Amino acid sequence: MTGATAGVRVHLYRYRHPDGAEKDWAYPVRLAPNALTVFYGRTGATLRQADTPTLHCRGCHPATEAQARVQEKLAKGYRDLGEFWLAADRRQLTPAAAVRPPAAPASPPAAEPPPPCWYWRWTPGRPPAETARRRVTIETACAAALARLAAVGWTLPDSQPGDDGPALWARLSEAAFNGVLPRRAGNEPQLAFWLLLARGCPDLSLVDDGQQPVSRWPDELPVAAEILETLGLQPPDWRRVLAASGDGEVWFF
């Protein structure tokens, strides 16, 4: 798929109310190893997205959780419409090859364990004025975090030249209130960004696979101390700073 309809291939299920209104529920044909993503909402409208971490899936596997939910939807009267392409705007649905999901939960394939992850969640406020205030806070935190990454030469895959806080937050969140971030090599800029964001915005929480709050850089992903200090994720090592001053004096603590 290319152009405006490019997106994700999903299994689509549709429910028709007695009054003629319809609603959709779908999940990706290719499941991620660390979470089950589902899309839902009124037919023809922008579908909402929700992610369930692997740790909270039945059998600790997204495929098992997906098939369990399929059976629940069918029992409620949803119709299996087969596979569709869900556009990037999560609104347009285009029929794909008619491949049906298995009737019973499939056995999880033998695979390596999914990587450890961080999970973020933003809590909007009520009434709307409170949500607007909190959004300004998180957008300001986005701009500050992006500036810190630039100071060490790091960039986000989702950022674009000239991005400000509101533009970056809109692209990263995609109007969702939660998301998953794999904690693996190569994701250092993203990990640093979300850690800075969680520190700078009290309405955004960041937890690990055990649902414990995250407040420090992960030990399994070594990064130079100077970089972490510049990012503000580690206190400065004053011994190194004073030794680098080159004044020939010996400092004792």
Q: Which DSSP string do the residues of 226-251 spell out, in sequence order?
A: HHHHHHTSS---HHHHHHTT-S----
The rounded percent of the chain whose pLDDT value lies above 90 is 53
Contact 76, 15 (CB under 8 A): yes
DSSP state of 89: T
- Tokens at 251, concatenated: 């400092």
d(C-alpha 87, C-alpha 61), whole Å:
26
The mean predicted confidence, pLDDT, of the chain is 85
Contact 95, 11 (CB under 8 A): no
d(C-alpha 80, C-alpha 83), whole Å:
9
* Residue 55 CA from chain centroid, whole number: 15
In terms of Cβ atoms closer than 10 Å to its own Cβ (0-12, 13-18, 19+), residue 186 is exposed
pLDDT level of residue 99 (50, 70, 90 thresholds): very low
Res 209: pLDDT = 87
Domain borders along the chain are 3-95, 117-243
Res 107: pLDDT = 62
pTM greater than the 0.85 cutoff:
no
93 backbone dihedrals φ, ψ, rounded to 5°: -120, 125
Kindly report whether the peptide bond that precedes residue 127 is cis, defined as omega within 30 degrees of 0.
Answer: yes
Res 5: pLDDT = 43
CATH number for the domain running over 3-95: 2.20.140
pLDDT (tens digit, 9 = 90+) per residue, 54-87?
988 998 899 999 999 999 999 999 999 999 999 9
pLDDT (tens digit, 9 = 90+) per residue, 157-167?
877 888 888 98
Res 114: pLDDT = 76
pLDDT level of residue 115 (50, 70, 90 thresholds): confident
209 Cβ partners below 8 Å, 6+ apart? Answer: 53, 55, 116, 117
161 Cβ partners below 8 Å, 6+ apart? Answer: none
DSSP state of 129: H
Among residues 141, 148, 200, 202, the alpha carbon closest in space to that of 172 is found at 141
Lowest mean pLDDT: which of 48-52, 133-137, 208-212, 249-253? 249-253
Res 110: pLDDT = 59
Among residues 119, 123, 8, the alpha carbon closest in space to that of 56 is found at 119
State yes or no: pLDDT of 113 exceeds 90.
no
Using DSSP, state whether 221 is helix, strand or coil.
Answer: coil
d(C-alpha 49, C-alpha 1), whole Å:
21
| E runs forming strands in 22-116 | 22-28, 35-42, 48-53, 79-87, 93-95
H or E element that contains 52: strand 48-53
pLDDT level of residue 6 (50, 70, 90 thresholds): low
State yes or no: pLDDT of 108 exceeds 70.
no
d(C-alpha 231, C-alpha 105), whole Å:
45
